[in-house]
Each structure stands twice: as structure tokens, then as C-alpha cells.
Structure 1
């Protein structure tokens, strides 16, 4: 039986510019194609989960503007429940300016806008949505008090909380013990643990540090190499399918959205990570964030 998922996080409008290379400081260069997509780490993960069949509620904050209205309509069309979306009276919907070079690498600047006003009161107002869920997933584009509240709430209500600690920042030590799972990438792992992940041995050391903090399970995402899983039943590298990347903007978000769907369907840990790696691998072959999120049929047919 599939369990309900709540995604708490950011909703942005992504403005994506393709370029042959990134400019140096003070340099102006001509770009290529320009796109506008729905984005935000929370929104990306919500859409990824919904497209793969997850029962998803999204809690976020948008502005009283056209970007915010477009976002609501978009999430409804994706099959996401939007009762948890609130509106800022003063700040605009968040935006992200993304440049993508010829190698598919990206550089991102985010203006948080209304996302910065998501607060504990918003979560209290949506307590019934949280109570009805089995899985909660959040990121660090939301204010830290929101993450701290979710950690405490998950512990008190026996919910399974997944933290995708992106963008990287230092976390209050008390958060870790209430996390069911943490999913940093290599750079986030180094900031959280001081360990530079360069191979399986160093990944194992980093996982041990995070578990010593109190986290129950750890997955370190390793880009094209796959993901390192450390749980009670398994510890080791799960490789990703080989693909040609054109845009890696949302790979981590697609991974996390797919992962929570797999876990909500009671897949075992390695199977859920394989499922997430396949979804992320397919996503990097396409432009955009949410537009790159695959359906279940696409994963089965393509990879």
C-alpha cells in the first residue's frame, strides 16, 4: 500500500539561459536559448514524486503575482494537492537564474522571495496535512526554523523525515537525531562532516560521521557515479545508468522525489535507490528542472 508524502520546500520560477561557457567576473558574453520553467527544490521534488505516482501534498509559500498563480495551476495539473500553499502579502514568488554550459553543468543564483517567509506558523496551520502523511521530505531553501520544527514534529508524531541538505549550510546539532534519512551530495557531505568523498571508502567514513550525529540512514548522491547507501540492511555504492547529460539542474531533486516514492511503496532500500538513480539519469538528458522529471513509463521504456 502506498503511503502519503508531504513535500515542504521552495517554489521558484526558473529562468534558464544556455551558454557555451560561464563568463568570467566582469565579462559579458552572448548566450544561447532562453527558457522559463517552474522550479524550486521543493517544487521539483514534489513534481518528480507526483509524476512517478506518489500521493503528494506540497507545503510552500508563493507571492501574490502571476508567477505564484502559474505555479498553483501547474501543481494542480501535475496531480499535486495544493491546500498547503500559502501566499505572501508583501514578497514576490521566488526566482532562480540558471546558466547551463555546453557540458551540461549549471550555475544558479536564487532570490528566495516568498520562500523566506515560510514559517512555523504555516506548518501549524497545515498540521492536518502533516498528520495524515507517512513521509515528509524537505530541503534547505526553506528557513532553518521550519526544518527544525519538522524534525521535532516527525520525532513526536513518528513520521519519517527525509532531509535533502541543499543548498549546503551548517545544521543545528539537535536536528540530526530526528532525521530518518539525509541525502547530501559530495559538496554538502564535506560541509556537514569535513570528509571529502572521493571513493567508496571515504563515503563510508562520511556516512559513519553522519550516523554518529544521530541520523538513522544516509544516502550520499555522487552524480554520474550513482549513490552511496548506508542503512541497516546494506552499505555500498549503487551505480547510475550511463547517459549523456545536457542539463543537471534538477538531478538531485529528481533523485529525492523518486526515492521517497520508492520508499513510500515499501521498496527495499537498494531497490528504492536504483529507482531514484534511474529517474535522475533520465532527467539529465533533458532541459529544465520539472520538465525533465520522467514518468514511470519513461523510466521503464528508456533506461
Structure 2
């Protein structure tokens, strides 16, 4: 079990496609934020090449020299031999832990006998699968957003009954819920252009492309091959429940505006005797309910 005083804050991998200079400026600003862990790398689409692997690695070295724990995140969907080549370079980087978001990454880490973080797209739904990954080298697990409190508590009980233990747990605590991935590009589809001729149009939507229903109600956010929820979740009010469930790390996903305020909100939450009111929409997934909620989006001035 983790206590609130030992909880850490992580900056999850950038899910959106931002211009190179904007991305670098964001992370160099993040070096001064009260974060413990920073995840770096492209997880959504391999065609997003404003930063290549050598750029992410150089940024990782800067972050580590600034005192952050750095993890290199891999693609959630591997489709080409070239992507396997990049994945191999990530795994063999020689310094940083890797977040494996695909079983190809798990296999490479296992072959190299390297520990890894199990990312939220590994689709782990029972304690036996998790125990097998632990044998392969998993040291930290980030459950998917459909895996709430009840499932995690059940898995912990089952692991302990088999003589095992839950690995370090990291839970998404801020951002839009990543709901699905596809070989098709939803952004290209929405703009009626072929995926292979997309022109990298998702760079025009730095927080994703919002969708509405025919009744003009906010519905989903599309981000290349990824579909997200429309609301920003905020798990800060569930702080005590997260700690009781053994969660040791709270993941905050990057957004274009106000991220420094988000990090400060969570840092103050960890230092407060009582959890704060939410800044984002209420998050139902933790309780096995729909994530959609009625609270308004956060408003911050600047990053």
C-alpha cells in the first residue's frame, strides 16, 4: 500500500502532434515543474516525425540531468518493419526505462532481460496475465482507463492469494480518456482525405479534433488513429481512494494550455490534509460508470 505522502506525479507521453519548437519549449518548461517522472516519445502515430528518436533521447538526457526520472514510451500500435527498428533503438537506449505499449516491446525487453513499465494499451485484465508480465520484467503497471477500482482491488486480492504482489501502480489522473486505437486515421477520415496523404493535418488540432452529436452536444475527441473522451478528467478528489488501492503514481497527460497550473494543483493536493475540489469533469471510470460528466472544463491562464 502507498500512502499519500509517498505518491509521485508523472507527466504522461504527449498524445497530440505539436510543432517541433512548441514541443521542445513545453518540455523545457516542464523541467522546472514539481514532477517526479516524465514519459517521452510518440505513442499514437509513427508518421508524426517533428521529433525523431534521437531528438527524444537528447530531450530525455536533458530531463534526467534536471533531476527527473525519464521513461521512453513506445507506440501503441506497431504496423511496419521501420517501427520495429525504432522500437529496438528505444529498448536498447542504454540508460532509460521503457514504457511498453505493445507486446512487441514486451518481447524485446524480455529478450534483453530489461525491466519495463507496462503501458495502458497492453490489455491486461486478470491477475495471471499480470503475473506473467511481472516474470517478463514488468516493474510498474499503468492500467487502461476501463480498469477501475473494483478490478484493481480484485486483481490485488487474487495475486496475493497466489503468493504474488501487485507491481507499482500508476493511474491516469488528468487528461482526456484514451478510449480506442485503430489502423485507420480518424482525423484524415473526418477531413475526407486518405490516410497516406494526410498532410499531417492533426498538427492543426493541438488538443485533438472535437466531435459533436447531431444534437450538437460534445461527444468524442479524435486524435489521429486514437479516439479520446471529450471531458478532461481530474482524479485529485479521489486521492485517498487511490492511495488505499495502492496507487503510487498519478499520471497527468500534457495539454496545450495551463499545464503548469495542473501540476501545481496536484502537487498542492498531495501536500494538503484534505483533497481539493475537481478542476476537470468528474471521472466515472474509477467507479465502473461512464466517464462523461457534467462539470465544466478547467480554465487556467497560460501554461
Structure 1-normalised TM-score?
A: 0.40
Whichever structure has more helix as a proportion of its residues is 1
Structure 2-normalised TM-score?
A: 0.40
Greater RCO between the two (CA within 8 Å, min separation 6)?
2
